[in-house]
């Protein structure tokens, strides 16, 4: 995959009111991919547990640099090629308005379970009811996360994906590769490609979608 266009700063927000759906996994992988393309990247962690910042602290020094921020620390957005916002569970939809202002995309991860699907439906209804998306000129995409195609609960996710007005951008498998990589401050992009090729293809689909809008506008 070639270098992403640098003419404008990309701003990506990862959100879902449901905890444990993989927001941090998606945020750190997006940050690592942009960094691997020699972009200056800021990872903004709004979660009180600071999982993304903890991951960043354990990131090996020889890997590409990513700057970490938490709420309250001023950030000059124009100084970065890519800004990744990792939002916490239970985030109020009205609080989302200033954060998605000027964002290229809002990514909503969802797990293949009845509880998670119901939660994300409530989240989307809340967004619509609050009017958050009315003036949002970016794109909204769903990421199916920790998927086992043969699992019986996958049917809940497929039913949701068929009905939601937003596209399912990619489907990420449930694999222990994430656990081992992130424990060392790494992502799948930092592992031997022969070991994670199938999973990287799914991530490249997501990164292509993230970059697509500005690539057309350039």
Domain of residue 43, CATH code? 3.40.50.300
**CB of 141 closer than 8 Å to CB of 209:** yes
**CB of 161 closer than 8 Å to CB of 144:** yes
In a domain, 5, yes or no: no
Domain span at 80: 10-210
pLDDT at 169: 96
In a domain, 2, yes or no: no
In a domain, 65, yes or no: yes
pLDDT at 215: 46
In a domain, 150, yes or no: yes
In a domain, 130, yes or no: yes
Beta strands (DSSP E) in 28-118 are 41-45, 67-69, 82-86, 105-110
pLDDT at 100: 86
pLDDT at 218: 40
Tens-digit pLDDT string for the chain (218 aa): 444 555 578 999 999 999 999 999 999 999 999 999 999 999 999 988 899 999 999 999 999 999 999 988 888 888 999 999 999 998 877 778 888 888 999 999 999 988 998 999 999 988 888 888 888 889 999 999 999 877 777 787 888 888 899 999 999 999 999 999 999 999 999 999 888 998 999 999 999 999 986 544 44
Pairing label, strands 10-14, 105-110: parallel
The pLDDT tens digits for 52-78 are: 999 999 999 999 999 999 988 888 888
* Paired tokens of 120: 């994300």
In a domain, 22, yes or no: yes
In a domain, 57, yes or no: yes
In a domain, 4, yes or no: no
pLDDT at 103: 93
Q: How many domains does the chain have?
A: 1
> How many of the other CB atoms lie within 10 Å of CB of 167?
12
b/e code 143-157 from CB counts within 10 Å (16+ = b): bbbbbeeeeeebebb
Mapping DSSP to helix (H, G, I), strand (E, B) and coil, where does residue 22 land? coil
Residues 167 and 36: their CA atoms lie apart, in Å, by 26
């Amino acid at each position: 995959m070639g270098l992403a266009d640098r003419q404008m700063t990309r701003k990506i927000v990862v959100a879902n009111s449901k905890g444990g759906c993989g927001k941090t996994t998606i945020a750190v992988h997006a940050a690592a991919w942009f960094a691997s393309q020699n972009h200056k990247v800021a990872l903004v962690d709004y979660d009180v547990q600071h999982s993304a910042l903890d991951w960043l602290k354990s990131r090996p020094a020889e890997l590409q640099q990513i700057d970490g921020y938490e709420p309250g620390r001023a950030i000059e957005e124009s100084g970065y090629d890519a800004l990744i916002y990792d939002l916490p569970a239970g985030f109020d939809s009205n609080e989302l308005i200033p954060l998605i202002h000027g964002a290229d995309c809002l990514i909503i991860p969802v797990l293949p379970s009845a509880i998670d699907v119901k939660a994300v439906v409530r989240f989307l209804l809340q967004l619509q009811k609050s009017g958050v998306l009315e003036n949002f000129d970016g794109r909204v995409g769903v990421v199916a996360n920790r998927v086992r195609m043969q699992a019986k609960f996958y049917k809940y996710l497929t039913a949701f994906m068929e009905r939601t007005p937003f596209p399912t951008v990619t489907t990420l498998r449930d694999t222990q590769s994430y656990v081992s990589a992130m424990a060392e401050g790494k992502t799948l992009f930092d592992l031997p490609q022969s070991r994670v090729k199938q999973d990287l293809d799914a991530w490249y689909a997501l990164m292509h979608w993230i970059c697509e809008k500005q690539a057309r506008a350039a």
